[in-house]
Amino acid sequence: MGAERIDLSKVLITHPQATFLQRVSGHSMKDAGIFDNDILVIDRAIKPRHKMIVVAVVDGEFTVKQLYQRAGRVKLQAANPTYPDIVPKEGQIIEIWGVVTSCIKQFPSA
């Protein structure tokens, strides 16, 4: 391991004006390595595409899921088999708020 300093802003943030940090609450993305209390780096300047992990607003609530977009169908998939997919109902709006680019983990200090 080298002694060079790493500037996390340069490494993790491509679009500073469109990037936000958000703490995770819940366990729906555990199989993607995203756990309760992790911090997500979310870039709103990236166009969301199939299989990207996104932050979406569903019925006024924020959620983190993997985006599924195929053959005109859209749904949000959890990375935990105990959570159902979110499929928009008739007239329901799912807003993709941003794309998750990184996940920061913090460990308890001794």
Is pLDDT at 92 greater than 90 in this prediction?
Answer: no
**How long is the chain?**
110
Nearest-angstrom CA–CA distance, 42 and 20: 5
Domain limits, the chain:
8-104
- Tokens for 63? 């959620």
Identify which of 51, 74, 50, 78 has the alpha carbon closest to the alpha carbon of residue 63: 78
DSSP secondary structure, 75-88, as one string = EEE-SSTTS--B-P
Work out the average pLDDT over 11-36. 96
Active site residues: 28, 65
pTM over 0.75: yes
pLDDT tens digits along 25-80? 999 999 999 999 999 999 999 999 999 999 999 999 999 999 999 988 899 999 99
Which architecture, in CATH terms, is 8-104?
A: Ribbon (2.10)
